[in-house]
A and B are shown apart, each in its own frame.
Chain A
Amino acid sequence: MNAQELQALIVDWRMGELRPEVEALLEAYLAQNPSAKEESKRIEETLAVTKKAVQAHPELVPSPGTELKEAPKGAGPARRSQLPWLKLAAALAVAGGVGLFGYQLGAGNASASGALAPTQMEKSRGPASEVRPALAVNATPSPWAKYRISGNNDRQGLLFTRVESN
């Protein structure tokens, strides 16, 4: 039990919200831990002062017309994912799927080695418009948008760049 959990238990206990068996366990714990007992006293004092302040100051009560709903938790700044590797793995899976789909759609009956070879070449060429020679060679333009996927170290993820076809 960490300090926060102990404080929460003590507050609930002082509020009379604990079940008797939990109450008995907590009392036994407090009897064996002087520091926890001190903590209990401090919380009790805080509750007493809080109660006094609430009772003595009715102006603290929100007017009946006040909207009591709080902002949803998601309304704050976006939190960074706790599992960046999972995001990366998901992005990789999507990228792989998109690449395979695009390859099958655009390369048609080109062989796998033939389709990959220009991709190696495009690294030396550079321009995004020439990213997928296999698609460019194809006489029938694909209706699907084409993307180039590359690493983006700043964002710690993959960068999807739309490739304009002629």
Chain B
Amino acid sequence: MESAPHPPLLERLFSESSGDLSRYFTRRHGAGEAVQDLVQETFLQMARSLEDGRKLECARGYLFGIARRISQAAWTQRQKDQNVVPFDPEASNSHGEVAIAVMPGDDRVTEARETIAGLSPLQREILDLRFSQDLSYAEIAQVLGIPVGTVRSRIHHAVAEVRQRLSADASGSAHLNP
């Protein structure tokens, strides 16, 4: 019987996911040393879970689930701290990560951004976990504690919304520039 930690799994997760976790926290809390602390805390809690002998069907989803709880706790703590101005992702342009090159005048990305901004917070979270963290439907479901079918339907809806917007603008442009 193996009750010891699972170093191979933890090492593999660390090598594969520490960068993704850094990005996950940076996109929610901004860049800084605190991000590395949050990543370390996440792996620490993961190691404890493995010590408990917990069986993990979806280790990466479980890891990001821990990250999500730590992120929420850090956010709450930050809100309580009167000396620190809470980080507001929507008001900040600097997130300490390499910005994705968006060509000036890339209207389609701008339109997609506007459409996504109008989606529900749950849908935006799902899109981020999918397109930024590259999590599978099942992993996203585990992170957020929702059914896989919900993840799938929200992604389908979001893609349909973006597509509708892009199609409408494309047809509008065609009418203007026949």
Known contacts A53-B112, A61-B27: does B74 contact A46 (CB below 8 Å)? no
A138 to B127, CA, bound (A): 71
Compute how far the CA of A163 lies from the CA of B159 in the bound complex, rounded to whole angstroms.
57
Instruction: Please state if A55 and B131 are interface contacts (CB–CB under 8 Å).
Output: yes
Complex Cα gap A15–B116 (Å):
18
Give how many A residues have a beta carbon under 8 Å from the other chain's beta carbons. Answer: 33
Chain B residues numbered 86-128 whose CB sits less than 8 Å from any CB in chain A? 88-93, 95, 97, 99-100, 102, 106, 108-110, 112-113, 116-117, 120-122, 124-125, 127-128
Given contacts A12-B152, A68-B121, contact A55 B127 (CB under 8 A): no
A89 within 8 A of B: no
The reply on A21 being an interface residue by CB < 8 A is no
CA distance A135 to B74 in the complex (A): 71
- CB pair B89–A61 under 8 Å, yes or no, is yes
Contacting pair A17 B124 (CB below 8 A): no
Q: Give the segment of B9-17, B44-52, B160-168 that binds chain A.
A: B160-168
Judge whether B113 and A46 touch: CB under 8 Å: no
Q: Chain B, interface size: which category? A: 35 or more
Per DSSP, are chain A's interface residues mostly helix, strand or loop, or mixed? helix
Residues of B within 8 A of A8 (CB): 152, 156
CB pair A60 B113 closer than 8 Å:
yes
In the complex, chain A residues 81-138 whose Cβ is within 8 Å of any chain B Cβ: none
Chain B residues within CB distance 8 Å of chain A: 26-29, 68, 71-72, 74-76, 79, 88-93, 95, 97, 99-100, 102, 106, 108-110, 112-113, 116-117, 120-122, 124-125, 127-128, 130-132, 136-137, 144, 152, 155-156, 158-160, 162-163, 166
